[in-house]
Structure 1
Amino acid sequence: MAWWHCNKPTSLTNTSTSHTLFITIAFAFFISQSFGARILQPHNSLPFIWPLPAKFSFGNETLSVDPTLSLTGNGAASPIVRAAFDRYKGIVFKNSNSYGFLRTVNVAYDVTKLNVVVRSKSEELQLGVDESYNLFVAKVSGSGGITIEANTVFGVLRGLETFSQLCSFDYSTKTVQIYKAPVSIRDKPRFPYRGLLLDTSRHYLPIDVIKQIIESMSYAKFNVLHWHIVDTQSFPLEVPTYPKLWKGSYSKWERYTVEDAYDIVNFSKMRGINVMAEVDVPGHAESWGAGYPDIWPSPTCRSPLDVTKKFTFDVLSGIMTDIRKIFPFELFHLGGDEVNTDCWTNTTHVNKWLQVHNMTANDAYQYFVLKAQSMALLKNWSPVNWEETFNTFPRKLHPRTVVHNWLGPGVCPKVVARGLRCIFSNQGVWYLDHIDVPWDVVYNAEPLEGIHEASQQKLVLGGEVCMWAERADTSDVQQTIWPRAAAAAERLWSTTQYTSGGNSNSTAFSRLQYFRCLLNRRGVPAAPVTNFYARTAPIGPGSCFDQ
């Protein structure tokens, strides 16, 4: 899944420099002519908020916000809310904090308090947690003017992000302003699963870089980091029960300790983001044998893992036991894709085992996947598998299985028709390493395409964009992710009332450019929206809002 699908963009980037430059300039000129005049003029009813809220109304007043804004309400008792309030206060008042002397001036600010009301004391983060919120901004004497109401602290986090996007720094007055007040927003996500896959096996990503990506995910209201930790090329994760697995890392400096993994999970939770770990078996696991070569069918035929040996499943069980202590999310990804069984049929002892058990190689593939599923279920995980498992033996998968689509369209309709859950990641539209896929193709993808019954639509958990890393590392991973990932984020969060049909692309375009500039201001190196190829540099001088 993760090697073949990267070849397409590589061939494109091998075009001659002059030809590529011509196409890029032509595309940028077309965009500027088609949309340039509307860059700062979205549809009159649409605010500069990304992703777009479900319901909203605005007025015509402008309110000033006190840089000493205080947090009130019962939400102030939550460490998650308090930490988020401090983060967003730092973002909103970044400019005004540079002018500390202004605080000594006797200024009557319109907004001095942010009142947060949370209805539930539970702070457990799991799939389907209530992320809805109501946000109200009005000039009301003595009350502070801003209220966020939510059923959970995670709804508050989404409300705080929206609040931060309502705030703008006025360079003339050197104050933070909220325009178009009074504001009333009632918002909730369209799908419970809104994910980004991050591959740290093909290229190691330092912890700080992973945290930067998680932070930026929260700006777009993503709620699942799919951590594709290990693969054929490297095994960077510490597994105390089987410590030699670490020998599969690229180097002794490119590893994640148990403490690192805990840190990532806790950092993510503070931003309302679950972490789903993936251990891809029985293929994509050659790196395991660097420390435990007995797990290979033979020294010269190393993948898939040896299906005949108890030791193979002992190691898999040990990995699961150790990482279950770290990852509380109810979903665990077991891979199961791109399994070439030639090693099994071409290795003498494996071939004999198949004959003794009256199995074909495909039977053994099914046996391995189902055995791994059983092990995950015993640890109270719901197994997630790539779609090849469903395509090969749909009737055998456990009823709690979540099928992860990637090969193309039309899979989720078949999955939900059988009563299983599905995650949409069609590689043609939501694989970020396909750098020739423009933002509007990402934006127009529809996870519910071909699914019309409400009962089946509910089985589509949502979707995820995938950042495979064969040709992306610390130097360019964030430019490859952003801003195209944000296009999928709005598709997964927002209702289709404003985001589908007639002029949805033109109205979304100006908002996405604004959001890309917002990411840049927050320190996220998001690439220009109008690039013909993702992550390439601007073609010339210009405003952030024109690129």
Structure 2
Amino acid sequence: MTPLSPSASMATKTFLPLSLFLLLLPISSLSSTLNIWPKPTSISWPIPAAIPLSPFFSIEPDFSSHRYLHIAITRYTRLILSERHRPIIPPVVNLSSSFLCSLQLSVSDLSAPLQSGVDESYDLYISSSGAALTAATPWGAMRGLETFSQLAWGHQPVVPIGLRIFDKPLFTHRGLLLDTSRNFYSVRSILRTIRAMSYNKMNVFHWHITDSQSFPIVLPSEPELAARGSYGSGMNYSIRDVQRIIRYALSCGVRVVPEIDMPGHTASWAEAYPEIVTCANRFWAPAGKPSLAAEPGTGELNPLHPKTYQVVRNVLHDLSTLFPDQYLHAGADEVNTACWEADPGVTRFISAGGTHDQLLEKFINLTHPYITYTLNRTVVYWEDVLLGPYVKVRPASLPTESTILQTWNYRAKNTKRIVQAGYRAIVSSSNFYYLDCGQGGWLGNDSRYDVQEAEPSDSLFNDPGGDGGSWCAPYKSWQRIYDYDILHNLTEEEAKRVLGGEVALWSEQADEMVLDAKLWPRTSAAAEVLWSGNRDSEGKKRYAEANDRLNEWRYRMVRRGIRAEPIQPLWCVLHPGMCNLEQ
């Protein structure tokens, strides 16, 4: 057995750069473990042996006839040969004297489009005489290339031999939501996020483009929305930017699902069209009166104004032209009744016996068919449209075959209610999947922090500082995310209507300066659960085993340019199991 990293005893305590420190690991720290993230469905490696890659290693053929697979092959060939990843605990293997010269790639259906439900399975076999990767579609081939890239390690890269992996995702929808309205993200930072998603075999970038704070996308039919509603020059996305993001995402096997939130969360529209927005730009929480919004700023589209639908249809038409994905997310969350009633026309409607539910239903009835029939898209709404505590529509307004509902509320039963009603569901529970939670409140002039002494309590850690309005605390650690079962309490039949899940980064307290650390490796935890689950073959949660792999994966992501935050001290990584709560 040969460790593929030099070793030396550490007789003195010194502070060394990580790259040098990894060269000095004691031989007792070595293992025969393969670290792959997310964990494959089925993996067999009976004898720990490896083979060096030829300096002229290639992936054949290059599939130049498929633009996006060709780009992926080029990218992974370069990554495999240049990464030279040194595992924190290097595998101990029998090293072959020959070289692996190529990976033979076979794809059954090159024409399969990247869409919901596409086959992402692959079969990977590596022996001393050659390596083969077979996949049904280009998108499955990309998942297999990612796995192969993680199998390579060492200064002169080697890969395991006698290895067989069959792999396919547990859920077809494995997503990440990024809010680009509250704070702006450059195209470069979005591309880096999509690249990291592909490393984690995630396949849906849910782009929450607009909200009350800004309207940053330039749309040909309604250019004034961005001209007046964005944060200004350099803080919007042009048609060329959108096309660049979509092309790059396709080369990573990632769908881009756009969201324009409405009729709530539309204060930014008022800069261009004040006549169609109620209660725009008012203080959000007037003293002694109902709040006009869930957070600053205020403004909602007026369902009774005819021009509303002219503008909305222009927006939706441009969105469908720019984004090829079959899903179009139309928001419909957190409609505020007090904001609507600030408009005299709405007040007269209510006084004449109309209801807030009827207002929302009018808006849905005049926009949902347009998205479905004219634009030929499947509509995604937030759960509020059907389950909102204050405003909601009747199920008759939402055909189940053309509507998907995305859950976000802390009410655990909402997913069950959605699938029982016959809808497909995407799960984004704020209790588990909201990455912005636990950071404290962001509102200024908040007296709730001004608490100097704790109330009497038996808690040893009673905090006198106040919660500062952090409604979704605590911070969602990777373990909380990893242990979440999105099918909890569903029957087998109900579970079939759950497409998958999405973690969400709302950007009140995030921008591109902190983006990587906010996302990774916590998003990696969700990625594995959505790909292969969080239980072993005996049905037991595997978070203890996942801990060590995630540590290793985090260091590899950092080496790949993703500034992921650490999950433990390095000492824990070097002493597996010693930092566990239970042995």
The answer to whether the Cα contact below 8 Å between 1:425 and 1:466 also exists between their aligned partners in 2 is yes
Cα deviations by residue, 1:6-48 (Å, 9 ceiling, x for unpaired): xxxxxxxxxxxxxxxxxxxxxxxxxxxxxxx9x9789x8x731
1:374 deviates by 1.9
Inter-partner Cα distance in structure 1 for 2:503 and 2:525: 10
The answer to whether the Cα contact below 8 Å between 1:499 and 1:508 also exists between their aligned partners in 2 is no
2:360 to 355, 362, 365: 365
Inter-partner Cα distance in structure 2 for 1:243 and 1:347: 26
What does residue 404 of structure 2 align with?
402
The answer to whether the Cα contact below 8 Å between 2:62 and 2:70 also exists between their aligned partners in 1 is no
Inter-partner Cα distance in structure 1 for 2:537 and 2:306: 52
**1:341 counterpart letter in structure 2:** T
SS in 1 for 2:359: helix
Inter-partner Cα distance in structure 1 for 2:176 and 2:281: 35
**1:212 counterpart letter in structure 2:** R
1:157 to 142, 146, 149: 142
1:370 deviates by 3.5
What does residue 434 of structure 1 align with?
437
Tell me the TM-score normalised to structure 2 length: 0.78
What does residue 422 of structure 1 align with?
425
Residue 71 of structure 2 corresponds to residue 69 of structure 1:
no
Cα deviations by residue, 1:361-387 (Å, 9 ceiling, x for unpaired): 222123223432222112111111111
What does residue 456 of structure 2 align with?
none
Inter-partner Cα distance in structure 2 for 1:492 and 1:370: 34
What does residue 231 of structure 1 align with?
211
SS in 2 for 1:517: helix
Q: Percent identity?
A: 33
SS in 2 for 1:67: strand
What does residue 92 of structure 2 align with?
none
What does residue 490 of structure 1 align with?
528
1:388 deviates by 1.1
Residue 336 of structure 2 corresponds to residue 340 of structure 1:
yes
Cα 1:517–1:395 change in 2 (3 A) is same
Alignment of 1:186-205 (within 5 A): 186-205=166-185
Cα 1:498–1:446 change in 2 (3 A) is same
Inter-partner Cα distance in structure 2 for 1:227 and 1:40: 42
Residue 117 of structure 2 corresponds to residue 122 of structure 1:
no
**2:36 counterpart letter in structure 1:** I
What does residue 526 of structure 1 align with?
564
**1:309 counterpart letter in structure 2:** H
Alignment of 1:24-173 (within 5 A): 47-58=34-45, 59-73=47-61, 75=63, 77-94=65-82, 109-140=98-129, 145-169=130-154
Inter-partner Cα distance in structure 1 for 2:98 and 2:367: 60
Inter-partner Cα distance in structure 2 for 1:375 and 1:76: 38
SS in 1 for 2:331: coil
Inter-partner Cα distance in structure 2 for 1:295 and 1:288: 8
Residue 263 of structure 2 corresponds to residue 263 of structure 1:
no
Inter-partner Cα distance in structure 2 for 1:158 and 1:95: 18
SS in 2 for 1:63: strand
What does residue 224 of structure 2 align with?
244
Report which of the two has the higher share of helix.
1
Cα 1:517–1:251 change in 2 (3 A) is same
SS in 2 for 1:146: strand
What does residue 234 of structure 2 align with?
253
Cα deviations by residue, 1:91-116 (Å, 9 ceiling, x for unpaired): 2222569xxxxxxxxx9742101100
What does residue 414 of structure 2 align with?
411
Cα 1:394–1:428 change in 2 (3 A) is farther
1:347 deviates by 2.0
SS in 2 for 1:334: strand
Residue 316 of structure 2 corresponds to residue 320 of structure 1:
yes
Inter-partner Cα distance in structure 2 for 1:60 and 1:299: 65
Cα deviations by residue, 1:152-197 (Å, 9 ceiling, x for unpaired): 000000000000011001xxxx411113x21100100000100000
Inter-partner Cα distance in structure 1 for 2:103 and 2:280: 63
Q: Which moved more, 1:364-373 or 1:418-427?
A: 364-373
Inter-partner Cα distance in structure 2 for 1:545 and 1:434: 30
Inter-partner Cα distance in structure 1 for 2:566 and 2:487: 29
Cα 1:441–1:493 change in 2 (3 A) is same
What does residue 91 of structure 2 align with?
none
The answer to whether the Cα contact below 8 Å between 2:548 and 2:573 also exists between their aligned partners in 1 is no
Cα deviations by residue, 1:118-160 (Å, 9 ceiling, x for unpaired): 00121421111110000010011xxxx1111001000000000
Residue 205 of structure 2 corresponds to residue 209 of structure 1:
no
Cα deviations by residue, 1:458-512 (Å, 9 ceiling, x for unpaired): 1100000001110001110110000000000001000455288546111000001
**1:428 counterpart letter in structure 2:** N
What does residue 444 of structure 2 align with?
none
Inter-partner Cα distance in structure 1 for 2:356 and 2:537: 46
The answer to whether the Cα contact below 8 Å between 1:214 and 1:268 also exists between their aligned partners in 2 is yes
Cα 1:160–1:545 change in 2 (3 A) is farther
The answer to whether the Cα contact below 8 Å between 2:40 and 2:532 also exists between their aligned partners in 1 is yes
**1:112 counterpart letter in structure 2:** C
SS in 1 for 2:300: coil
Inter-partner Cα distance in structure 2 for 1:152 and 1:300: 49
The answer to whether the Cα contact below 8 Å between 2:528 and 2:534 also exists between their aligned partners in 1 is no
Inter-partner Cα distance in structure 2 for 1:298 and 1:445: 39
1:62 deviates by 1.3
Residue 163 of structure 2 corresponds to residue 183 of structure 1:
yes
Inter-partner Cα distance in structure 1 for 2:65 and 2:358: 55
The answer to whether the Cα contact below 8 Å between 1:72 and 1:115 also exists between their aligned partners in 2 is yes
Q: Which moved more, 1:363-372 or 1:383-392?
A: 363-372
**1:402 counterpart letter in structure 2:** I
The answer to whether the Cα contact below 8 Å between 2:218 and 2:238 also exists between their aligned partners in 1 is yes
1:332 deviates by 1.0
Inter-partner Cα distance in structure 1 for 2:68 and 2:78: 16
Inter-partner Cα distance in structure 1 for 2:55 and 2:232: 47
Alignment of 1:299-318 (within 5 A): 303-318=299-314
SS in 1 for 2:348: helix
The answer to whether the Cα contact below 8 Å between 1:131 and 1:154 also exists between their aligned partners in 2 is yes
1:393 deviates by 3.4
Inter-partner Cα distance in structure 1 for 2:361 and 2:268: 22
Larger relative contact order (CA 8 Å, sep ≥ 6) = 1
The answer to whether the Cα contact below 8 Å between 2:385 and 2:393 also exists between their aligned partners in 1 is yes
Q: Which moved more, 1:212-221 or 1:333-342?
A: 333-342
Inter-partner Cα distance in structure 2 for 1:394 and 1:489: 34
1:241 deviates by 0.7
Tell me the TM-score normalised to structure 1 length: 0.83
1:344 deviates by 2.2
Q: Which moved more, 1:457-466 or 1:294-303?
A: 294-303
The answer to whether the Cα contact below 8 Å between 1:229 and 1:237 also exists between their aligned partners in 2 is yes
Cα deviations by residue, 1:384-424 (Å, 9 ceiling, x for unpaired): 11111121335232212111111122211111111100011
SS in 1 for 2:307: helix
**2:399 counterpart letter in structure 1:** H
Residue 489 of structure 2 corresponds to residue 450 of structure 1:
yes
Inter-partner Cα distance in structure 1 for 2:68 and 2:30: 36
Inter-partner Cα distance in structure 2 for 1:295 and 1:200: 23
Q: Which moved more, 1:65-74 or 1:212-221?
A: 65-74
SS in 2 for 1:280: strand
What does residue 466 of structure 1 align with?
504
Cα 1:236–1:278 change in 2 (3 A) is same
The answer to whether the Cα contact below 8 Å between 2:83 and 2:560 also exists between their aligned partners in 1 is no
